[in-house]
């Protein structure tokens, strides 16, 4: 059964809302323009598209941390643009995905006979009020695809069939995607949808960063939205085709690509070296660069030791189990506490331990276990790039006295603390679930709303938080 254009746009809207929920910096007014006249808005979007009159909206950019000492661009995307992108892609993206080789393991989509649109992104079901049969299932790759990929990789490494592993990573992959090149690749694969592809690329160009002369660049896919991950797979089509031909030529290699992380299992070191050099040349033709620090050849055992984080993988497994029906929650919580006990004994956090800690925050939120309430405030300051993890945990447990006090102090010390704009915005959102009115917090959030020295995104989230708290409390 084919969907009408109207139903298809409603589904696109729902996917866009879901997509924005996963953004590092979601549009603070994502529902406002749809709240009262959703039907009329859908008709207006369809009318604009049918008359080729749709114009991309303005996207706001700002700096956000990458690690401890570096910055990367953050982007706030308009819900209309994202809705239109999902609408246009739905006509041809399913057919393209079917042709991707099995080595491509991230952002795979599929469509079943009941018109369910499934992006492997976040485990949740969304049902449109008017079209209850059209469910949208989204699965988070980190908790579904990532463990699945890692499990298969480990089995391959421990099979003793492959002795060496060639690893490489693409530097600033999403930022360096050439949008004109991407357009040509998509048109070669889905030429009958050229006009739709032109609008897709036009929207992406409207989001692109500007150079020092204020000229908008024609490159870059904003991270953390499903659409970018899906499209990024096709930008690396030449690379995937090369690796798949090499695999079919001889069963002596096996390869995986998870977004910009490429792993190739080989029987000889010479083969691994040859493939890495060829990959480098192919990437250069696409305007991309290998990350020299992450490009290496490891023995199978070295790969197991370096690539796998036992603690984080165990916590991921607990998260996966928590999504299944009939799971004994009490057993999962007890296992989670054991993992936390091991981490809490460590005086210093290396990269693997930090990753495990972040998984603990996520697992604790999902299982509704406040085991980290004594450290969430201090960790929020220590790991600015993880603000989203801490704010999600903080919102769930904000009514615990310790959590409330730590985040309250952070809010009142905001002028003295080196908080990034998006980090401060997430800090403000923590107070949305307060059960009892707090005059001090209300006043501090209100001051942020009125102080134009702060980034508009901070002020927008502050206004939104006031409505959660109750204006005039």
Per-residue pLDDT reduced to its tens digit, 264-300: 999 999 999 999 999 999 999 999 999 999 999 999 8
CA distances from 472 to 429, 442, 445, 447, 450 (A): 18, 9, 12, 14, 15
d(CA 374, CA 408): 14
Structure tokens given for 190? 């889905």
Q: Which residue has the higher pLDDT, 464 or 401?
A: 401
Residue 129: predicted pLDDT: 43
pLDDT band at 126 (very low <50, low <70, confident <90, very high): very low
Q: How many CB atoms lie within 10 A of CB 17?
A: 20
pLDDT in tens, 212-247: 665 667 888 887 788 888 899 999 999 999 999 999
| Mean pLDDT, range 447-469, rounded to an integer | 88
Domain ranges of the chain: 309-372, 394-473
d(CA 307, CA 88): 38
pLDDT in tens, 185-194: 999 999 899 9
pLDDT band at 373 (very low <50, low <70, confident <90, very high): very high
R_g of the chain, CA atoms, integer Å: 23
d(CA 63, CA 147): 31
Residue partners of 190: CB distance under 8 A and separation at least 6: 92, 95, 96, 197
H-only helix segments in 103-168? 145-158
Residue (of 266, 265, 47, 12) closest to 136 by Cα position: 12
Q: Taking 90 as the threshold, does the pLDDT of residue 322 lie above it? A: no
d(CA 300, CA 310): 16
Q: What is the reported pTM?
A: 0.81
């Amino acid at each position: 059964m084919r969907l009408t254009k109207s139903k298809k746009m409603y589904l696109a809207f729902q996917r866009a809302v879901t997509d924005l929920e996963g953004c590092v910096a979601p549009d603070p007014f994502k529902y406002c323009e749809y709240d009262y006249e959703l039907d009329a808005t859908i008709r207006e979007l369809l009318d604009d598209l049918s008359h080729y009159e749709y114009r991309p909206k303005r996207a706001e950019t700002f700096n956000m941390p990458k690690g401890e000492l570096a910055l990367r661009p953050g982007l706030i995307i308009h819900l209309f643009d994202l809705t239109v992108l999902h609408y246009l892609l739905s006509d041809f993206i399913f057919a393209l995905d079917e042709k991707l080789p099995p080595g491509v393991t991230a952002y795979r989509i599929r469509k079943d006979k009941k018109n369910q649109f499934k992006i492997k992104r976040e485990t949740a079901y969304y049902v449109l009020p008017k079209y209850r049969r059209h469910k949208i299932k989204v699965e988070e790759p980190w908790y579904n695809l990532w463990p699945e990929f890692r499990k298969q990789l480990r089995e391959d490494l421990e099979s003793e069939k492959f002795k060496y592993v060639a690893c490489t990573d693409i530097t600033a992959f999403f930022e360096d995607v050439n949008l004109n090149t991407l357009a040509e690749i998509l048109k070669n694969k889905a030429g009958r949808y050229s006009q739709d592809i032109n609008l897709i690329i036009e929207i992406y160009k409207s989001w692109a960063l500007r150079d020092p002369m204020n000229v908008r660049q024609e490159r870059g896919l904003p991270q953390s939205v499903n659409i970018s991950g899906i499209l990024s797979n096709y930008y690396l089509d030449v690379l995937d085709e090369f690796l798949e031909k090499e695999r079919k030529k001889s069963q002596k290699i096996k390869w995986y690509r998870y977004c910009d992380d490429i792993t190739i299992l080989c029987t000889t070191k010479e083969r691994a070296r040859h493939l890495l050099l060829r990959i480098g040349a192919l990437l250069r033709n696409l305007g991309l660069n290998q990350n020299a620090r992450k490009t290496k050849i490891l023995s199978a055992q070295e790969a197991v030791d370096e690539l796998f984080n036992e603690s984080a993988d165990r916590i991921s497994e607990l998260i996966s189990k928590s999504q299944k029906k009939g799971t004994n929650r009490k057993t999962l919580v007890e296992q989670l506490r054991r993992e936390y006990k091991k981490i809490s004994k460590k005086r210093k956090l290396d990269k693997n331990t930090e990753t495990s800690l972040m998984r603990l925050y996520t697992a604790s939120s999902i299982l509704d276990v406040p085991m980290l309430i004594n450290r969430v405030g201090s960790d929020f300051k220590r790991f600015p790039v993880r603000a989203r993890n801490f704010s999600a945990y903080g919102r769930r447990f904000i009514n615990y006295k310790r959590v409330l006090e730590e985040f309250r102090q952070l809010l009142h010390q905001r002028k003295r603390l080196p908080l990034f704009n998006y980090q401060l915005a997430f800090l403000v959102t923590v107070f949305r679930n307060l059960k009892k009115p707090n005059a001090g917090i209300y006043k501090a959030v209100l001051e942020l709303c009125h102080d134009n020295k702060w980034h508009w995104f901070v002020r927008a989230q502050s206004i939104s938080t006031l409505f959660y708290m109750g204006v005039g409390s």
